[in-house]
Structure 1
Amino acid sequence: MATNTSAKNGRGSDVTVDDLSAQLERVKTDLSELTRVMGELGTAKTAQAQNAAQAKAAELRDQAYATAEHLRDSSAEKFADAQSQAQDFVRTQPATALGLAAGAGFLVGLLMTQRR
């Protein structure tokens, strides 16, 4: 490598090949450092976004479980209430309950048979 070669820069001072090589090395080092820092920043932002997504998913899961539990409890209460009312009706009006059951059975039988 020729170290004696020089050129004039815009300010009138001599710039040697060694000066240019040193400046290029600094640029490469700076770019390398910048790349490393940007990679670390990207990794940190990715981890931050992942943590936020996991927290939101856990929150939504908890809400879904609470809603499902509420609906299950509500449905169970409604079913138990309807069952209790049906039992009370059969106890207080057995003839009417028997007539309703026979009528419902007759209608189901008609619907199930095939008429051509």
Structure 2
Amino acid sequence: MDSHVKDLEAQVASLKTDVSSLTATLKDLTTTAGAEAKYRASATAKKARAQGEKAYADAQDATVAAYRNAENQVRENPAAAVGIAAGVGFIVGLFLARK
């Protein structure tokens, strides 16, 4: 009977060691997964920011080009520009007068 108790104690000690080892392994896996998720989130944020900055720069370039184009059109055809401005003003005036 005494040998059975010693065998059980040895098995319990072995189980404790195994559980401790499993706990440490799970902790390492969790830490690694968390670090990987943080890295991926950071990389995604950097990529999104770069895309946003590029879109902003493209929109700004398009706006400047459109302004320059309009400015050139006004310089080449000042009478047409005045006529268009008067027409737009008249239409805006009609809409405002209705309210």
Residue aligning to 2:98: 114
Residue aligning to 1:36: 24
- Unmatched 5+ residue regions in structure 2? none
- Specify the SS of the correspondent of 1:81: helix
Q: How many residues align?
A: 99
| CA deviation profile, 1:43-64 (whole Å, cap 9, x unmatched) | 1121012112211221121122
Residue aligning to 1:62: 50
- Unmatched 5+ residue regions in structure 1? 7-14
Bigger fraction of residues in strand: 1
| CA deviation profile, 1:71-100 (whole Å, cap 9, x unmatched) | 11112111221122123211xxx3x55444
Residue aligning to 1:105: 89
Distance (Å, rounded) in 2 between the aligned partners of 1:111 and 1:65: 38
| CA deviation profile, 1:3-62 (whole Å, cap 9, x unmatched) | xx25xxxxxxxx420121111111111111111111111111210121122112211211
| Alignment root-mean-square deviation, CA | 2.2
Distance (Å, rounded) in 1 between the aligned partners of 2:34 and 2:87: 67
Residue aligning to 2:39: 51
Matches within 5 A, 1:6-25: 6=2, 15-25=3-13
Greater gyration radius: 1
Distance (Å, rounded) in 2 between the aligned partners of 1:112 and 1:57: 46
The 3 A distance-change label for structure 1 pair 32 and 109 is same
Bigger fraction of residues in helix: 2
TM-score by length of 1: 0.70
- Specify the SS of the correspondent of 2:70: helix
The 3 A distance-change label for structure 1 pair 76 and 26 is same
The 3 A distance-change label for structure 1 pair 84 and 48 is same
What amino acid sits opposite 2:68 in the alignment?
A
Q: Deviation at 1:103?
A: 4.0
Q: Deviation at 1:109?
A: 2.6
